[in-house]
């Protein structure tokens, strides 16, 4: 087993570079999720509008129309939650690294 490479970062239980890579990955993944769900919303709305214009979809009244519209946006709400969660996780990792660094600095003084 080889010794880990020494850095000037005083972290004991984690490697700063790995945490920074994970943070970047989470941010990139969140934007990919946002793009996929935005594309899905666009396709869903386009198909819905085409079905309405071609009279392939029966709308019995205003409540049916409202329900169909809600069904079009419902999957995108999950995408929004995924996006916010991934962004929050990346920020929490950075905050925890700052807390650890500040705690070590305070302990040295």
Residue 55 Ramachandran class (φ > 0 left, ψ -120 to 50 alpha, else beta): left
Q: pLDDT tens for residues 1-59? A: 455 555 565 556 677 888 899 999 999 999 999 999 999 999 999 999 999 899 888 88
pLDDT at position 1:
44
| Counted domains in the chain | 1
Q: Is residue 106 part of a domain?
A: no
pLDDT at 105 over 90: no
Structure tokens at 75: 């999957």
Q: Is residue 2 part of a domain?
A: no
The CA distances from residue 79 to 17, 35, 70, 76, in Å, are 29, 9, 15, 5
The whole-model pTM stands at: 0.76
109 vs 7, more confident? 109
Cβ neighbours of 107 (radius 10 Å): 8
Q: Is residue 105 part of a domain?
A: no
Q: At what angle do helices 62-108 and 16-53 cross, to 10 degrees?
A: 170
CA dihedral 64, 66, 70, 72 (to 10 degrees): 70
Answer yes or no: are the C-beta atoms of 90 and 26 closer than 8 Å.
yes
- Which residue's structure tokens are 């040295």? 108
- DSSP-derived letter for residue 54 is T
Q: Is residue 67 part of a domain?
A: yes
Q: pLDDT tens for residues 50-94? A: 998 998 888 888 898 899 889 989 989 999 999 999 999 999 999
Range of the domain at 71: 16-99
């Amino acid at each position: 087993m080889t010794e880990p490479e020494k850095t000037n970062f005083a972290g004991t239980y984690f490697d700063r570079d790995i945490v920074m890579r994970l943070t970047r990955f989470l941010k990139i993944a969140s934007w990919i999720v946002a793009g996929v769900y935005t594309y899905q919303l666009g396709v869903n709305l386009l198909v819905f509008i085409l079905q309405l214009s071609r009279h392939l979809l029966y709308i019995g009244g205003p409540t049916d129309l409202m329900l169909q519209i809600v069904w079009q946006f419902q999957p995108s709400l999950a995408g929004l939650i995924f996006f916010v969660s991934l962004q929050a996780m990346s920020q929490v990792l950075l905050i925890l690294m700052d807390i650890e660094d500040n705690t070590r600095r305070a302990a040295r003084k």
